[in-house]
Amino acid sequence: MSGSGRPRTSSFAEPPGAPGAAAAAAGSAVAGGSSSGKSGAAQASGATSTGFGNLKLGRDSGKVTTVVATPGQGPDRPQEVSYTDIKVIGNGSFGVVYQARLSDSQEMVAIKKVLQDKRFKNRELQIMRKLDHCNVVRLRYFFYSSGEKKDEVYLNLVLDYVPETVYRVARHFNKAKTTIPIIYVKVYMYQLFRSLAYIHSQGVCHRDIKPQNLLVDPDTAVLKLCDFGSAKQLVRGEPNVSYICSRYYRAPELIFGATDYTSNIDIWSAGCVLAELLRGQPIFPGDSGVDQLVEIIKVLGTPTREQIREMNPNYTEFKFPQIKAHPWTKVFKPRTPPEAISLCSRLLEYTPVTRLSPLEACAHAFFDELRQPNARLPSGRELPALFNFSPVGVSSNYIVSSHRAVDSAPVELHSHSSSCSRSDDAHFSRYTALTIPLRYACVCSCVTNALCACRRQRVGQLSPVQLCTRSSEQQHLSITSLFLQRSPSPPPPPSCHLSIVPDFSKLQNP
């Protein structure tokens, strides 16, 4: 059992030997077994047709396995998929994860095999079929297979294979007794917030954000959010279980037993990940649920009655020792960038609605370095694509509903193509007119440039509401003097779109 009180659901990204991770039989090969009618497997010439649930460990990993699988996106048109070089890379209470190579493209994939309860639809499958984003692990195919027991059915998810995790990267630097380079922290966290902005715009809450579930390519530094086994489409008014999320990253409202929480629990978890990367160790390392709250109080101080009510209106126990908040500057190492501390302080807040939204986090000054044209990785390689936003990636109507009621005005947003996600445009068509709080500044942002830091001057082409910031260095002065006006404004040029950024003048440390 995990510290959250639920069975351990180790991600396929979690390395062998990691704290709480199941021992992975990495390097072991899988040989083809007998097929079953229930598996939907197909026999190909010279290939092993198998139900996959019957596979046993063996020495020969070169055999070709062919199954009939359904594409992860698009219409349900089953097709034959062949793969080889199968080996186990992880296992746990959820099932087993294999690594394999697709025969046609020679691409590596991860195959997550989980026991399927035939009485229910698989929530992870339903969610992954609707997600299509460059910072979310992609579901390529899925298929069913039979198990060793009668009527036992397994669901197999064929996913992108990404070799490393943020957990392993951080552990590498910790073993070397050094801190992870700050540029990697910025690149990883920025992509995490992009992935959260996307899934939250789809109504999906991940509910298990942690370093082990953040896949990274060590060469390109591309990050992909994975393991949607705990994810859920949150519906207002419908209760949710509070025993969710791995312990170190659990939002305080979950510890207080809230069942009507929002996707802001993911924001808290992301703040914990950021703090861990900066500190080199978890910021709230509790040994139990109660101890977890104690660790949080040590840093944030005792929550007020109002803050507790905001976290869980049904919580009536207010007997807590009065502890003052610990200065954020003393929580981190002396040379920690002040912008990083500032961002942490805005993510790790008791009151869920006061935490930054993912897009507000992307617009934070901590990420200004990424907006510089000459920004590079330590290896000298260019940064991964960070600013290829699509309309749904920046519209984020959920921002409005997640904040308190404030004066607002309508803003028209227009769709255009994006290299990040094809499904974004289709989804965005339902949100062409959004109501955005007046306390946000609205600026024009070129898709190929930084969010909230367009490098081209378009002042002559746009109304004051759509004013482009002229450089990263000037953006704070420009943004803080800009507020959304009630008067209607003309649509932006085709190459730009409106994006929501926070009023930095109100940014204060606790």
Q: What residues act catalytically?
A: 208
CA 460, distance to chain mean position in Å, is 38
Are the beta carbons of 179 and 30 closer than 8 angstroms? Answer: no
| Of the candidates 76, 91, 97, 156, the residue with the CA atom closest to the CA atom of residue 122 | 156
Q: How many other CB atoms are found less than 10 A from the CB of residue 301?
A: 17
498: left (phi > 0), else alpha (psi -120 to 50), else beta?
Answer: beta
Are the beta carbons of 9 and 210 closer than 8 angstroms? Answer: no
Using the CB atoms, write b or e for 253-271: b if 16+ within 10 Å. bbbbebeebbbbbbbbbbb
Are the beta carbons of 486 and 410 closer than 8 angstroms? Answer: no
Q: Does the annotation list 113 as a binding residue?
A: yes
Coil, strand, or helix at residue 366? helix
Q: For strand 232-233 and strand 408-412, is the pairing parallel, antiparallel, or unpaired?
A: unpaired
d(CA 225, CA 180): 20
- Sign for the pseudo-dihedral over CA of 478, 479, 481, 485: positive
d(CA 490, CA 288): 55
Greatest alpha-carbon pair distance for the chain in Å reads: 72
Are the beta carbons of 493 and 461 closer than 8 angstroms? Answer: yes
HSE on the CB side for 505, CA within 13 Å?
Answer: 10
From residue 20, how far is each of 7, 16, 161 by CA, in Å?
Answer: 11, 9, 22
Are the beta carbons of 134 and 385 closer than 8 angstroms? Answer: yes
Are the beta carbons of 109 and 87 closer than 8 angstroms? Answer: no
Q: For strand 204-205 and strand 232-233, is the pairing parallel, antiparallel, or unpaired?
A: antiparallel
Token look-up 């989804």 returns: 427
d(CA 383, CA 501): 22
DSSP letter at 255 equals H
DSSP calls for 25-42: -TT-EEE-----GGGTB-
Residue list for the binding site for ATP: 113
Binding site: which residues?
113
